[in-house]
Amino acid sequence: MDLLFTLLATIVALGLLVTIHEYGHFWVARRCGVKVLRFSVGFGKALFSWRDKRGTEYAIAAIPLGGYVKMLDEREGPVDASELDQAFNRKDVKKRIAIVCAGPVANFLLAIVAFWLIAVMGITTIAPVLGPVEPGSVAERAGLVEGMELVEIDGVATPSWHEVNLQLIRRLGETGRLEVLAREAPDSAAQNYTLMLQDWLRGADQPDPIEALGLTSWQPAVEPRIGQISPDGAAEAAGLQEGDLIQAINGEPVQDWVRQVVPAIQGSAGESLRLTVERDGDTRMIEVTPRVRENDGRSVGFIGAGVASFDWPEHMVRSIDYNPLVAIPVALGKTWDMTVLTLESLKKMLTGLVSAKNLSGPITIAKVAGASAKSGPESFLSFLAYLSISLGVLNLLPIPVLDGGHLVYYVAEWIRGKPLSERIQAWGLQIGLTLIVGVMVFAIYNDISRLG
């Protein structure tokens, strides 16, 4: 069932992004007087198709990993004399540039709409208050201590741990000063703390910026009561049930799920644990053997059980929402920030500051799509916005085959007054195709490596 849900979420996400991207090309092409022969969402054999009164065929194809808009073009086949004025290649170079740019622009517009919806609907988040700070860490040397709330990082407000993580990601691979504004209590004045970075997490695989600084998030005491059991997991096989209260592990009393139960399970991969459990007023012993999975090169135990819901202190819960008008600049700013972050990350990946192993392919996208959809509308909309921005940025890269490569050709034609030679364009096509296929293979290899 989880696999089916993940596949459905992935198809919905990719289908929407591809449709919006291709519709951008389609919409501008028609307004520039170009005849569109086919609008396809997906590649391969069409599952079903239909035509409109202008003769355009619309198709839903079997492989939902892309799409295309096929336009009338003399370079792709003979064109009837009566339709030459509708051929793409006969249009002014400025119109061709507009058509090429329209796809990525549509992706950025989708991201703006998604962020606007999130801002209007509002989100409930937890304030980034510090838990225990690791002794000897960068954060401790700077003076940060447990109980402080992170207010700003490098001058940018951080009302949630998500924002904290985003601001830290910007500094991956860098050397310099990380400026943090923090306060000890909600009503106290914030003070500035300087953390010194030195080639920070340069080349690290799947870096965790928060943990790398020695920071943890504050957690309330969480009663070790099981709230959910995964089907076919070790917990279900051992006979654990929802509502069970874990009182001891291997004879050692436990009172907190996060600080005691989780470390005990994660540190006992493949080893039997003896749990003392209270159920319906009775105490019983249950043996469970955590299964093994790899996480950053080490074996970690898991049993397929989740903690029961618990309440956070009221002063740590933040509700963030905006009225529809104020939400517009918020959405624009968020889209701009994420676009810049994507470009900076690509630059750092090319220069070696960020490991290329962080590059993700369709398997990771599918996993994130499923997880975000389960987390709720706000999470799924955020995922759509981030992925749409990534798609827009990547398509504008000056690589032949992509929109950005065609844009380079047309800009060169605009400057020169004539198009580049067919031979140069053919070379570029071969190089671009080889590069794109190579990157895709590497991304899929990274995905498979993460699966272990």
| Angle of CA points 22, 74, 71, to nearest 5° | 15
Q: Which residue has the tokens 């109980």?
A: 147
Handedness of CA 426, 428, 430, 432 (dihedral sign): negative
Do residues 86 and 35 lie in contact, with contact meaning Cβ atoms separated by under 8 Å? yes
- Which residue is catalytic, options 22, 83, 223, 287? 22
CA 162 to chain centre: 12
Q: Which residues contact 230 (CB under 8 A, 6 or more apart)?
A: 236, 304, 305, 306
> Two tokens at 175?
């050397």
DSSP-derived secondary structure letter, 21: H
Q: What is the DSSP letter of 198?
A: S
For residue 285, the 8-state DSSP code is E
Separation of alpha carbons 322 and 119, rounded Å = 6
Backbone angles phi, psi at 170, to 5 degrees: -60, -25
Burial 118-130 (b: 16+ CB within 10 A, else e): bbbeebebbbbbb
Are 338 and 114 in contact by the 8 Å Cβ rule? The answer is: no
Known catalytic membership, residue 22: yes
Beta bridge partner(s), residue 51: 57
**Residues annotated as catalytic (active site), given as ranges:** 22
